[in-house]
């Protein structure tokens, strides 16, 4: 989907490009990608890089254009991993600024593309626009990290009484999310450092915004690392818990087998085709049943006394 706005922030949508406009491209089709080449004159390698799901964040400055690629978090339900990261490209030249992303996201959503509506003012500085994207990205990272922590707590409760690997696999997918986040946030941190060292930031507002974005990004990185360390230790611990739970079940089944073996042994002895002095007794069968029951009860009480049951 391609939407063209008069200025940054997505306040006024216009039908065609004009000087200083902002073009937001999300989930482009083949026809829209071709339009990027023909109408907007974007270099083919830049479009390919922005639509490459494995593209690394970077900054490029040319004589007539500039490019910033960051990695942003998105929700994902296809392969069981709830969150992962994708690239978001910001292409700038003297005529327009274009944002390009291969999936819908919370940074620049399709239906409500502006991440700056809460400020109730237009953004006219492209560097200020990029820094606000980084700041918004850090906030979304923190939001998803809290959701990962909540899901991990629910999985932890199930793992305490589980003897299967299903919950452990869920925990592994949470760990994958954190690995994606840590890698992407570190790369975004490098991009922010390059922007700080460049001569593009000339106003005090942008300097303050850059500082806020770096703080938000650093907080997201530290939280991701803390959650990742906790989950790594948790996976090792719960792997032992699952093994211990299985051992407990096997022990209980073994004890039940021993208890059932007592009446089976007695029945086997008296069922042999040899004289046992009780063939003609009226109380033979009831006596054998009572003795078997008493010995079984005695075995259960003995195991309970030793805390095996």
Cβ neighbours around 33 below 10 Å, total: 18
The CA distances from residue 9 to 122, 130, 188, 249, in Å, are 6, 11, 22, 60
The rounded distance, in Å, linking the Cα atoms of 34 and 29 is: 9
Q: Choose the final residue of a domain: 244, 259, 280.
A: 244
Q: Choose the final residue of a domain: 195, 217, 244.
A: 244
Asked if 272 and 137 sit in the same domain, the reply is no
Nearest C-alpha neighbor of 133 from the set 13, 228, 43, 213: 213
List b or e across 162-179, with b for residues whose CB sees 16 or more CB atoms inside 10 angstroms: beeeebbebbebbbbbbe
Asked if 86 and 110 sit in the same domain, the reply is yes
User: Tokens representing 135?
Assistant: 């700041």
Supply the CATH number for residue 295's domain: 1.20.58
What predicted TM-score, i.e. pTM, was given to this entire model? 0.74
Asked if 265 and 176 sit in the same domain, the reply is no
Asked if 264 and 229 sit in the same domain, the reply is no
Domain count of the fold of the chain: 2
The CA distances from residue 8 to 99, 170, 264, 284, in Å, are 11, 40, 84, 97
Give yes or no for a contact between 167 and 155, defined as CB atoms under 8 angstroms apart: yes
- Total residues found in the chain within this entry: 309
Q: Choose the final residue of a domain: 244, 262, 288.
A: 244
Asked if 148 and 278 sit in the same domain, the reply is no
Which residues span the domain enclosing 59?
2-244
Asked if 65 and 184 sit in the same domain, the reply is yes
The rounded distance, in Å, linking the Cα atoms of 214 and 192 is: 7
Supply the CATH number for residue 54's domain: 3.30.460.20
Asked if residue 167 has pLDDT above 80, the reply is no
Residue pLDDT, tens place only, 171-223: 788 888 888 999 999 999 998 888 888 777 777 888 888 888 889 889 999 99
Asked if 257 and 121 sit in the same domain, the reply is no
- Mean pLDDT computed over 15-40: 85
Residue pLDDT, tens place only, 226-279: 888 888 777 676 667 767 777 877 888 888 888 888 888 887 777 777 676 776
Asked if 21 and 134 sit in the same domain, the reply is yes
Asked if 71 and 164 sit in the same domain, the reply is yes
Asked if 105 and 188 sit in the same domain, the reply is yes
Asked if 196 and 290 sit in the same domain, the reply is no
């Amino acid at each position: 989907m391609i939407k063209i706005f008069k200025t940054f922030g997505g306040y006024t949508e216009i039908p065609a490009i004009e000087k200083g406009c902002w073009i937001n491209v999300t989930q482009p089709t083949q026809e829209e990608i071709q339009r990027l080449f023909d109408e907007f004159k974007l270099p083919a390698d830049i479009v390919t890089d922005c639509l490459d799901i494995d593209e690394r964040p970077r900054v490029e400055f040319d004589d007539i254009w500039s490019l910033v690629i960051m990695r942003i978090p998105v929700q994902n339900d296809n392969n069981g991993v709830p969150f992962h990261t994708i690239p978001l490209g910001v292409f700038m030249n003297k005529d327009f600024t274009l944002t390009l992303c291969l999936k819908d996201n919370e940074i620049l959503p399709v239906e409500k593309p502006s991440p700056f509506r809460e400020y109730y003012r237009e953004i006219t500085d492209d560097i200020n626009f990029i820094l606000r994207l980084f700041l918004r990205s850090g906030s979304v990272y923190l939001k998803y990290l809290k959701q990962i922590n909540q899901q991990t707590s629910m999985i932890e409760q199930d793992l305490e009484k589980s003897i299967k690997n299903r919950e452990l696999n869920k925990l592994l997918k949470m760990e994958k999310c954190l690995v994606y986040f840590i890698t992407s946030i570190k790369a975004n941190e490098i991009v922010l450092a390059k922007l700080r060292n460049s001569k593009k930031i000339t106003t005090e507002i942008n300097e303050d915004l850059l500082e806020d974005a770096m703080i938000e990004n650093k907080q997201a990185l530290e939280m991701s690392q803390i959650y990742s360390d906790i989950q790594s230790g948790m996976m090792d611990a719960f792997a032992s818990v699952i093994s211990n739970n299985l051992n407990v079940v096997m022990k209980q089944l073994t004890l039940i087998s021993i208890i059932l073996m007592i009446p089976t042994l007695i029945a086997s002895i008296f069922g042999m085709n040899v004289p046992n002095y009780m063939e003609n007794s009226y109380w033979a069968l009831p006596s054998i049943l009572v003795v078997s029951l008493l010995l079984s009860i005695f075995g259960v009480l003995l195991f309970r006394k030793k805390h095996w049951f």
